[in-house]
Chain A
């Protein structure tokens, strides 16, 4: 099964994606991650204003089968949270790179080592069977 890995994004090994929009970064989970979890039915996201260090857990998403922690791929301050997901978590499954975005961060400059699209696609392929 092949998953959508947009070329313009960067990715963490824990399956978050990062998109640069002006001075801010938008963060979500990858198509691979949503597919592995299955239907998302529940999630917890941080409050605006939270300061994250790279690698911090900033929330959790849950399907019927499993729960998965969300890890900050970059450091910074949370400046927006996708409130629409409170009532329509399915957006994460249906449109993980668009309507399913999770948080917007003003970066502090500290980053995990992120992968480009090719590197991340290889990382997914390694785990698929």
Chain B
């Protein structure tokens, strides 16, 4: 039985096409992927992301514990700020990519829907010796993302006078506010390469909250647009660009690994990988020949040897041409190098290009 968010009935009633994603029955599109994609780039789109995992890490050693299990420097996250981080295996492979929000007395950790149970077990497997408590909030809280250049103006309309000041919430800032009268944790985070917010609030109000944001002009969006929107700024999707068998340096996420912060799970292996240099690298490419690369298509070098695999590929709605990301040997990953994508059995030429394909329009 697939799991459903508190907004499932709402999606179905609105005519969204529902699909399975990571064990969840989620809307893949409402009006159409391109229409939704464009709305987020130009105005504002609304996503139900309640399928993601939410948990609180609290206790006297919450910071020390997180510092030990994630790759980023948790001690450097100021109160009221959030940070991207990675959980890594002892061999450096990525367990999950997460967001850590530093709240008063505790940390909110948001994890991928497909990794909820794995992460829960992983975190609990490392609590020994730490005075820490991990509390699930995935069911009690709903989670929405409002993304796009008009998101801020919409939320200011929704905010009660005196409840907060979202206009001065910095990039990756997080604050408690009241939206439409509902107590809401508001974070200036997202996954679309635009300014935008992620909202956490009591799941009981999910339908009401959704309707009110749509009433302010936010366009309902599905996972299809969420994927194309994260693809253009080259944001990783777990199971594609990152996985248990891919390390951060290959994935161009070395900036998330702070080797000098002290001991943490995976540190030794990651230091060795960094010193040796990754043998393969995530590489953005455009199609030179005619065709569209898709995830899992093989990559050949110009001698016809299998050397890599496509992680994500699609016609980019914003840039208007087929683009992709693939793992290829480091020597082939520099801009301008060419390789072939095997599309329905035939090699089609592709050329490495600069990442990201779309420069994120964050409000810094």
A residues adjacent to B (C-beta < 8 A): 1, 38-39, 41-42, 44, 57, 60, 62-67, 69, 129
Q: Give the A-B pair count, Cβ closer than 8 A.
A: 43
Partner of B32, one of A38, A42, A60, A67: A38
Q: How large is the interface on B (under 10, 10 to 19, 20 to 34, 35 or more residues)?
A: 20 to 34
- Which residue on chain B has the smallest CB distance to residue A129? B18
Whether A42 touches B322, Cβ cut-off 8 Å, given contacts A64-B224, A67-B292, is yes
Chain A residue with Cβ nearest B320: A41
Whether the Cβ atoms of A38 and B292 lie closer than 8 Å is: no
Do most interface residues of chain B lie in helix, strand or loop, or is the interface mixed? Answer: mixed
Q: Are A65 and B224 in contact (CB under 8 A)?
A: yes
Q: Min CB distance, B35 to chain A, in Å?
A: 8
B228, closest chain A residue (CB)? A64
Say whether B311 faces chain A, with CB atoms less than 8 Å apart: no
B residues 41-69 in Cβ contact with A at 8 Å:
none
User: For residue A65, which residues in chain B have a CB less than 8 angstroms away from its CB?
Assistant: 28-29, 33, 224, 227, 314
Q: Is the CB of B344 within 8 A of A62?
A: no
Question: Which 6 pairs of residues, A with B, have the shortest CB-CB distance?
Answer: A41-B315, A39-B34, A64-B33, A62-B292, A65-B224, A39-B32
Q: State whether B344 touches A64 (Cβ < 8 A).
A: no
Contact of A64 with B315 in the complex, beta carbons under 8 Å: yes
Cβ–Cβ contact A63 & B33, under 8 A: yes
Asked whether A64 and B15 contact (CB < 8 A) given A38-B224, A42-B322, A44-B290, the answer is no
A64 contacts which chain B residues (CB < 8 A)? 33-34, 37, 224, 228, 314-315, 317
A-B contact pairs, 14 of them (CB 8 A): A38-B224, A39-B33, A39-B34, A42-B292, A42-B315, A44-B290, A64-B33, A64-B314, A64-B317, A65-B227, A65-B314, A66-B294, A67-B294, A129-B18
Chain A residues lying within 8 Å of B315, measured Cβ to Cβ, are: 41-42, 62, 64
B219-256 contacts to A, CB under 8 A, are: 224, 227-228
Q: Which residue of B is nearest A69, CB measured? A: B344
User: What 0/1 readout, one digit per residue, does chain B (284-313) give for beta carbons within 8 Å of chain A?
Assistant: 000000111010000000000000000000
Q: Which residue of A lies closest to B227 (CB)?
A: A65
Which chain B residues border A57 with CB–CB below 8 Å?
344
User: Hey, which chain B residues are within 8 Å of A1, CB to CB?
Assistant: 15
The residues of A that contact B227 with a CB separation of less than 8 Å are 65
Q: How far is the CA of A65 from the CA of B317 in the complex (A)?
A: 11
For A66, give the chain B residue with the smallest CB separation: B294
Residues of B within 8 A of A62 (CB): 292, 315, 322
CB distance from A107 to the nearest CB of B (A): 25
B12-38 CB contacts (< 8 Å) to partner A: 15, 18, 28-29, 32-35, 37
